[in-house]
């Protein structure tokens, strides 16, 4: 009986699936998770895993299948994706019948110039100073924690994203969150994507690429996204 009660409680909670960026993990959402949990949401934020052949053999389609598997069947979900995770959210939104999509400094469908990457992009165990430079709007404990957790990434996935990916605009409400100091995805490209997707936009001055997730104002960004979700008809 207890198991049935727990299952019923879980099913009653709205579900948000949070998808991390390249070289990261579900830990990137640690500042967002409690904001959504306190509001009564069930938060799913797993680590994307390499394919059976390892990172060198991992493709965007492999990651897409994992995201689909994270979404509870028969229950509406909200997809929130950051950077690479944003593209994954766009790619699977129709498959999982997402009721809303939130893109946080997302990679854009047009790509970033068609650059080719090595089979494995080495990010783990890099210099601490590189992380400090990438996280100017974060505090030192968060910077050090992130530095220890960065992982290597699939070069095939990075190349696919750089060359551009075909996506259809989601049929449900879409929000694009833009950090105006993002040096990985140009804000002008994020705004152009938002226009193409017919999405709402929230911009943050002084915010870096990872700032919405790992910066000092990350809980504020999460709370604003929650407010946006509550304001959507039928959400």
What is the secondary structure of 87-142 as a DSSP string? HHHHHHTTTTT-SEEEEESPPPTT-SS-----SEE--TT--HHHHHHH-TTS-HHH
- Write the pLDDT tens digit of every residue in 185-234: 999 999 999 999 999 999 999 999 999 999 999 999 999 999 999 997 44
Say if CB 23 and CB 84 are below 8 A apart.
no
Flag whether pLDDT at 235 surpasses 70.
no
Helices 155-163 and 84-92 pack at an angle, to 10 degrees, of 70
- Write the pLDDT tens digit of every residue in 56-85: 999 999 999 999 999 999 899 999 999 999
What value does the mean pLDDT take over residues 97-115?
94
Query: What Å distances lie between residue 5 and 1, 13, 71, 117, 138, CA to CA?
Result: 6, 13, 21, 49, 40
| Per-domain residue ranges of the chain | 2-230
Query: What Å distances lie between residue 133 and 113, 143, 149, 191, CA to CA?
Result: 23, 10, 16, 24
Flag whether pLDDT at 2 surpasses 70.
no
Flag whether pLDDT at 52 surpasses 60.
yes
Distance between CA 22 and CA 157 in Å, rounded?
9
Q: What is the pLDDT of residue 112?
A: 84
Flag whether pLDDT at 7 surpasses 50.
no
Say if CB 168 and CB 198 are below 8 A apart.
no
Distance between CA 156 and CA 127 in Å, rounded?
24
Q: Is 15 helix (H, G, I), strand (E, B) or coil?
A: strand
CA atoms within 13 A on the CB side of 135: 25
Q: What is the pLDDT of residue 11?
A: 55
- Write the pLDDT tens digit of every residue in 125-170: 999 999 999 999 999 999 999 999 999 999 999 999 999 999 989 9
The alpha-carbon radius of gyration of the chain (Å, integer) is 17
Architecture of domain 2-230: 3-Layer(aba) Sandwich (3.40)
């Amino acid at each position: 009986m207890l198991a049935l009660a727990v299952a019923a409680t879980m099913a009653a909670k709205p579900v948000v699936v949070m998808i991390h960026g390249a070289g990261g993990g579900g830990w990137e959402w640690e500042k967002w998770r409690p904001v959504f949990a306190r509001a009564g949401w069930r938060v799913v934020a797993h680590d994307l895993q390499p394919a059976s052949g390892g990172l060198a053999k991992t493709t965007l389609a492999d990651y897409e299948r994992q995201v689909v598997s994270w979404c509870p069947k028969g229950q509406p979900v909200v997809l929130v994706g950051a950077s690479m995770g944003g593209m994954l959210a766009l790619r699977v939104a129709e498959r999982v019948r997402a009721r809303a999509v939130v893109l946080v400094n997302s990679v854009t469908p047009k790509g970033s110039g068609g650059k080719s990457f090595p089979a494995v992009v080495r990010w783990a165990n890099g210099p601490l100073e590189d992380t400090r430079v990438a996280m100017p709007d974060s505090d030192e404990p968060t910077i050090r924690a992130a530095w220890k957790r960065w992982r290597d990434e699939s070069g095939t996935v990075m190349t696919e994203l750089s060359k551009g990916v075909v996506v259809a605009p989601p049929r449900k409400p879409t929000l694009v969150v833009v950090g105006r100091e993002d040096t990985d995805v140009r804000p002008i490209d994020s705004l152009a994507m938002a226009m193409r997707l017919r999405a709402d936009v929230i911009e943050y001055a002084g915010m870096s690429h990872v700032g919405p997730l790992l910066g000092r104002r990350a809980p504020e960004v999460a709370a604003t996204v929650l407010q946006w979700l509550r304001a959507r008809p039928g959400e």
